[in-house]
Each structure stands twice: as structure tokens, then as C-alpha cells.
Amino acid sequence: MRATLIYGAGDVRVEDVPDPAIRQPTDAVVRVLRSCVCGSDLWPYGSKPASEQGARIGHEFLGVVEETGKEVSGLGRGDIVVAPFVWSDNTCDFCQEGLQTSCRHGGGWGADGVDGGQGEAVRVPQAQGTLVKLPVGEDSALLPSLLTLSDVFSTGHHCAVAAGVGPRTTVTVIGDGAVGLSAVLAAKRLGAERIILMGRHKDRTDLGLDFGATDVVAERGEEGVEKVRELTGGDGTHTVLECVGLKAAVDTAFGVVRSGGTVSRVGAPQYSDVPMDSSLFMRNVTLTGGVAPARAYIEELLPDVLDGTVEPGRVFDRTVDLDGVPDGYRAMADREALKVLIRP
């Protein structure tokens, strides 16, 4: 089959690779209907050292079950399924607590003999725990929105849930990328009345307004902090959803959080330390979040996607086939595209 490999910064190729096959009785093989490029894929695309050996890439996909191992029950050939962005047994203590990203028998896509998501098919370990069946057909118009359950919408939701967003909380979302916009949508879905979106790309913040943002702050850094404080009577917001991953975004988050409030981070951290000094101590500010256990949320979010209450798939503004994947990466890196959908 054909699949995407990354050889280094700016060097993504689509090549022939071995067809996936059942190796363990808990595996399934899934033919990919839709995949996509993640903002986090842009970090290696921006900086990975060049290598002779390409690495498989892609961790978001939705597809059709082609084959299952002997120990997989509840899933069969022809089922349409979505895969969260890590695989997990969904039975260990961490999984039972809703932290499938720390599953004792789980792992990531595209490593250790497991296929990446940006290809024609994937061998899925722990298939019974990992895959969630979707009550739609191969040609459903909902596939893009359903695919976001794999990562981007679930990540926005995790960010908001970890922060404690609810009807009585005010929210600042930092970042107008696909995760930031998903966080806006998730915060709105959880009942937040005030959602301030910090971003400076008008086409993106316009989608944020559609998703439920009540205010947009285009300013960054100190100026942005002051603007949010102005909008909130000087106090800042109860929760801040950090959807970028850069140190500057974390600094902004601490600047706009209300005393007693929570900064929740889901931007893959491109920093090692954060400021947590006496002033944040005196203000009882909490820092939470992390990689989203998407698997924990799919059943909860699914009905609202199926009935159109939320349309998280609107973050996709370009569609490519497999041959178009390298240009899809380029377009996202150049901010020509917000998020690229792949139809293999």
C-alpha cells in the first residue's frame, strides 16, 4: 500500500510500504477513509533532522474494518470506525480512569511496527479497546466532523474539561489554529457564556465566532493581556485554554487568568519550564491539561456530531489525496490552509 513518511524538516513523501496484516489476535486492519494533518505534525515538519530512513507519520484516521484478530469482539468486517490518536486496551486502570493516553498496554501510531494514519490502511493494535464504531456509511457527509473525534475536537474538549469550563466560567482561548477553534466549540458546548478568542488570522477567528467565541483579541503579548483584562474588568477569565504550545502563549495564559483560576494546556509544549512564581502562588493559579485521552470522550461527543449540534469538521478547509499530502503539509506550514483533510 501507499503511506506517508517524513524524512526530515520539509521532506514528506508518499511511498510504497508493506500492506498491514494481523500480527496479534487483538489486532484489526482498517482501510483508511479519511485522515488529516495535525498541527503537531508541523513540529517535526519544521525541525526534524534529515534522515536516510523515513518515519511513518499521521495519527488521526477513520476507516472501514477489513479484518480482525481472533480476540477482537464487537467489531467486524465492514464496520466504520474512528481511531483515537493513541491506541489503548481500554481496560487497564488508567483507561478505566479515562486516561487512555497512559494505557499500560497502549502506544502511538507510526512507531514500533504500527502504521501511521496518513496511508491507505493501518494495523490497529488493541483494536477492541481502541476503535469506536460509527453508525454512518462510507459516503457520509459527516466523515470530516467524525474524524475530529480522533484528535482535534477531543483535544479542544479535553482542554476545556480539564480547566473546569461550565456555565459559570469565563474562558480565554489562546490560539486560532484548529485546536484553538475546537476548544472554542467545546467551551461553548459545555455552556460557557463568555469566550474570548486570542488570534490574529481573521478567517480563522471568524470561524471561532461561528463556533461560539464572544470576543476576539488580535493583540499578542503584553498588549493582548491588557486587552483581555480590559474586557474582564481587570480580572481576567476563570479559565484559559492554551492551544499553541509556545512559551509566549503560556506567559499570556498566566497573564489573563483570574485569581483562583486555571490554565489548561493542550498545545504540545515547545518549552521545558514555566513561570510559577510567588505572584501565581499568591493568586492560587492552577496549571493543568496535557495530551488528550480522546478515547475517553468519543462516546460522549458522538451524538452531538451525529445530530449536527456541533460541526467540528469545519476546521478542514482543504482536501487532498495521498499524492497531495506533501503539498498539504506545506500549505499548513505556510498557513495557507487551517487543517488539511486526506482522502486516500
User: Is residue 197 close enough to count as binding its own copies by CB under 8 A?
Assistant: no
- The Cα–Cα gap between 340 and 118 comes to 11
Q: Pick the binder of its own copies from 42, 64, 142, 274 (CB under 8 A).
A: 274
Angle (CA) 187 132 289, round 5°: 35
Q: Pick the binder of its own copies from 15, 97, 210, 336 (CB under 8 A).
A: 97
Residue 105 C-alpha cell reads as 498496554
Q: Applying CB under 8 A, what is the total number of residues that bind its own copies?
A: 32
Distance of closest approach, residue 289 Cβ to its own copies, in angstroms? 7
For residues 41 to 80, the per-residue mask of contacts with its own copies, x marking binding by CB under 8 A and - elsewhere, is ----------------------------------------
Q: Spell out the residues 6+ positions from residue 216 whose beta carbon is closer than 8 angstroms to its own.
A: 196, 197, 198, 199, 205, 208, 209
Distance of closest approach, residue 138 Cβ to its own copies, in angstroms? 34
Q: Pick the binder of its own copies from 42, 142, 246, 268 (CB under 8 A).
A: 268
Helix (H, G, I), strand (E, B) or coil at 285: coil
For residues 143 to 172, the per-residue mask of contacts with its own copies, x marking binding by CB under 8 A and - elsewhere, is -------------------x----------
- Give the containing element (helix H, strand E) for 31: strand 28-36
Q: Pick the binder of its own copies from 68, 101, 128, 154 (CB under 8 A).
A: 101
Distance of closest approach, residue 85 Cβ to its own copies, in angstroms? 12
Q: Which residues of 1-28 are buried (b: 16+ CB within 10 A; e: fewer)?
A: bebbbbbbeeebebeebeebebeeebbb
Q: How many CB atoms are closer than 10 A to CB 338?
A: 21
Closest to its own copies by CB, 146 vs 243, is 243
Q: Pick the binder of its own copies from 2, 105, 194, 283 (CB under 8 A).
A: 283
Contact region for its own copies (CB under 8 A) — 69-77, 119-127, 187-195, 285-293? 285-293
Q: Which amino acid is at 156?
A: G
Q: Spell out the residues 6+ positions from residue 178 whose beta carbon is closer than 8 angstroms to its own.
A: 39, 152, 315, 338, 339
Contact region for its own copies (CB under 8 A) — 3-11, 148-156, 289-297, 310-318? 289-297
Distance of closest approach, residue 260 Cβ to its own copies, in angstroms? 4
Are 110 and 58 in contact by the 8 Å Cβ rule? The answer is yes
